[in-house]
Copies of this chain bind each other. A is one copy, B any other.
Amino acid sequence: MEDRPTTVYAILGSLMSGPRHGYEILRTLEEGLGAVWRFSASQLYVLLKKMEGEGLLDSTFEVQEARPSKRVYSNTPAGEASFLEWLKTPTDHVRDLRFEFLTKLFFFRNLGIAGGDRLVAEQIGILKEIKQGLAAKRDSEPEPFRRLIYGFRIATLTAWLAWLEDEAAIFGK
């Protein structure tokens, strides 16, 4: 799977329910995911062009009288496949978990796609493995500062695991 920025998948996800023009995509994403991140309008238009160049999107240009023209985008089959593959894959980079994982959960529910509970379960498995690895490293680490860092990471992972097993598991169903 190609590793594109999460914004790209968010755009693909917003087009899974039908064609939209840039401003509409922005509205949709801000309404649904505004609490997770901010989208810049200018960056969005840049990305849309780039994604079309990469074959993820198609576009048609609609000229309107008395209103500015709109460029309407839709997913290509490649774009759709790319989105669905991304959607069902848990995140293995811990730093991206917040953005990526919450965005995936959002689309599972928003698009009515089955398998959200499986994603949650797999994500739990991955985090547990990482946590165990860190715990082992901390136990054999004599240097206090490095122990402190491991402690920080382990504390973070513990909290996220509890959140996943508790709140996210319910949401993912």
Residues of B within 8 A of A98 (CB): 152
B-contact bits for A15-36, CB 8 A (1 contact / 0 none):
0000000000000000010011
Measured in the bound complex, the distance between the Cα atoms of B98 and A150 in whole Å is 11
Q: How far is the CA of A152 from the CA of B160 in the complex (A)?
A: 7
A145 vs B144: C-alpha distance when bound (angstroms):
39
**Copies of this chain, tallied across the complex:** 2
Q: Identify 11 residue pairs between A and B in the complex whose beta-carbon atoms are under 8 Å apart, listed by A's number.
A: A35-B150, A102-B152, A105-B148, A145-B171, A148-B168, A148-B171, A151-B163, A151-B167, A152-B163, A156-B156, A156-B160
Which residue of chain B lies nearest to A156 when distances are taken between CB atoms in the complex? B159
Q: Is A106 an interface residue (CB 8 A)?
A: yes
- Interface residue ranges of A29-57 to B (CB < 8 Å): 32, 35-36
Contact across chains for B155 and A171 when beta carbons are under 8 A apart: no
Whether the Cβ atoms of B155 and A159 lie closer than 8 Å is yes
Q: Which single member of B106, B146, B148, B160 contacts A155 (CB below 8 Å)? A: B160
Residue of A150, A152, A156, A158 contacting most chain B CB atoms (<10 Å): A152
Q: Kindly report which residue of chain B lies nearest to residue A146, judged by CB atoms.
A: B35
CA distance A21 to B162 in the complex (A): 46
Nearest to A98 among chain B residues (CB) is: B152
